[in-house]
Amino acid sequence: MPKDHSRPATAETYKRTKRTKVRIHQRADYARDTVHGILDDGYVAHVAFVHEAAPVVIPIFYVRDGESLLIHGSRKTRMFKTLATGVPLCATVTHLDGLVLARSWFHHSMNYRSVMIHGIAEEVTGEDARMDALWKVMEGIAEGRAAGSRAPNKQEMKATMILRIPLDEAVAKVRRGGPNDDEEDMELPYWAGCVPIETVHRSPLTSRSMQVDVDVPKAVRALETIGN
């Protein structure tokens, strides 16, 4: 029986493979919790695949579903047409957390949290499974959107492809903290430190086209408190 990637896994870590080995091994983290946490903090993955002998990398909205990412889009796009044939892909999610400014050029760096996934996407098929996956996608955009907007009709469902990217071969890469300057540079007359960078939600803007009297949903308003 094939693995159900929508279910939680039992092992606490992902296996380290040749492709997910990280050169600076102190920055690698194979713990599922770390990988999930980074994925759950993001909206956009950069998905790479090969098309006509050249790599292509495209930003796409995703939501994590257990041990997989769900992505969806028009069946007509090159990306979905290509990925559905089962070609190898790489998906990377990155949060830039800060600029690291050192006493030397060489030790300037970035603080970040990223996840890299290697694998092959599987199309989600079957009416119920597709509706369930899109429900999760909607809830990933903002809590309550699935029940808070019109579900797709037959035509819209038909036009949409849903792909599941399994989290079998995944690794997190994280850098935190201040600059790692060399001992002999510590007394140089240069400032060293960090500039934190954050991604924040602003107040929701109601569409000017609203013709009915509906309040901004609570969960949408609550987004503003995340990371502000």
Residues with Cβ within 8 Å of residue 39, at least 6 apart in sequence: 62, 64, 69, 93, 115
Distance CA 47, CA 9 (A): 23
Of the pair 4, 87, the CB lying nearest its own copies is at 87
- Asked if residue 76 binds its own copies (CB under 8 A), the reply is yes
Q: Of 35, 39, 91, 161, which one interacts with its own copies (CB under 8 A)?
A: 91
Q: Using the rule CB under 8 A, which residue among 41, 152, 168, 174 binds its own copies?
A: 152
How far, in Å, CA of 12 to CA of 201, rounded?
32
Amino acid occupying residue 27: R
Footprint on residues 31-60 left by its own copies (CB under 8 A) = 43-44, 46-50, 53-59
Site for its own copies in 165-194 (CB under 8 A): 178-179, 181, 185-194
What is the C-alpha to C-alpha distance for residues 102 and 158, in angstroms, rounded to an integer? 53
Where in 95-124 is the site for its own copies (CB under 8 A)?
96, 99, 101-106, 108, 110, 112, 114, 116, 118
Q: Is 9 in the site for its own copies (CB under 8 A)?
A: no
Helix (H, G, I), strand (E, B) or coil at 118: strand
Which range binds its own copies by CB under 8 A, 7-15, 25-33, 121-129, 203-211? Answer: 203-211
Question: What are the tokens at 159?
Answer: 């036009």
